[in-house]
Structure 1
Amino acid sequence: MPAALTPDFLHLLQRYQPLLRRVVRMYCTDADDQQDLYQDIVLQLWRAWPTYQARASAKLSTWLYRVALNVAISDLRLRTRKPPPERFGAALPEVAMAPEAGPDADDLGQLYQAIERLSDVEKAFVLLYLEERTYEEMADILGITQNNVRVKMHRVQDKLRHLLTQPA
Structure 2
Amino acid sequence: MATDQIQKQFLELIQDNAGLIHKVCRLYCHSTEDRQDLFQEILAQLWKAYSQFRDESKVSTWMYRIALNTAISGFRKQQRRIITVGELPAESADLQEHGILEQKERLAVLQQAVTGLSDIEKAIVMLYLEERSYQEMEEVLGIGQSSLRVKMNRIKEKLRRHTGQA
> Would the TM-score normalized by the shorter structure come out above 0.5?
yes
Q: Quick one: distance in 1 between partners of 2:8 and 2:159?
A: 41
Task: Classify 1:66/1:130 alpha carbon distance in 2 versus 1 (closer, same or farther; 3 Å).
Answer: same
By how many angstroms is 1:3 displaced?
8.4
Q: Quick one: distance in 2 between partners of 1:109 and 1:120?
A: 19
**Superposition pairs of residues 7-46 of structure 1, within 5 angstroms:** 7-46=8-47
Count of residue pairs brought into register by the alignment: 149
By how many angstroms is 1:162 displaced?
1.1
Identify the structure with bigger relative contact order (alpha carbons < 8 Å, sequence gap 6+): 1
Q: Verify the 8 A CA contact 1:29 1:94 in the aligned structure 2.
A: no
- CA deviation profile, 1:103-146 (whole Å, cap 9, x unmatched): 12222111111111111111001110111111111111111211
Following TM superposition, the consecutive aligned residue runs of length 4 or more in structure 1 with deviations greater than 4 angstroms are 2-5
Q: Quick one: distance in 1 between partners of 2:4 and 2:120?
A: 34
Amino acid at match of 2:9: D
Q: Verify the 8 A CA contact 1:114 1:160 in the aligned structure 2.
A: yes
- Counterpart for residue 119 of structure 1: 118
Gaps of 5+ in 2: 90-94
Amino acid at match of 1:48: A
RMSD: 2.6
Gaps of 5+ in 1: 84-92
Specify the structure having the higher radius of gyration (Cα).
Answer: 2
The alignment's TM-score, normalised by the length of structure 1, stands at 0.80
- Counterpart for residue 63 of structure 2: 64
**Superposition pairs of residues 1-168 of structure 1, within 5 angstroms:** 6-52=7-53, 55-74=54-73, 75-80=75-80, 103=100, 104-165=103-164
Secondary structure of the corresponding residue to residue 34 of structure 1: helix
Q: Quick one: distance in 1 between partners of 2:104 and 2:7?
A: 40
Percent identity, please.
45
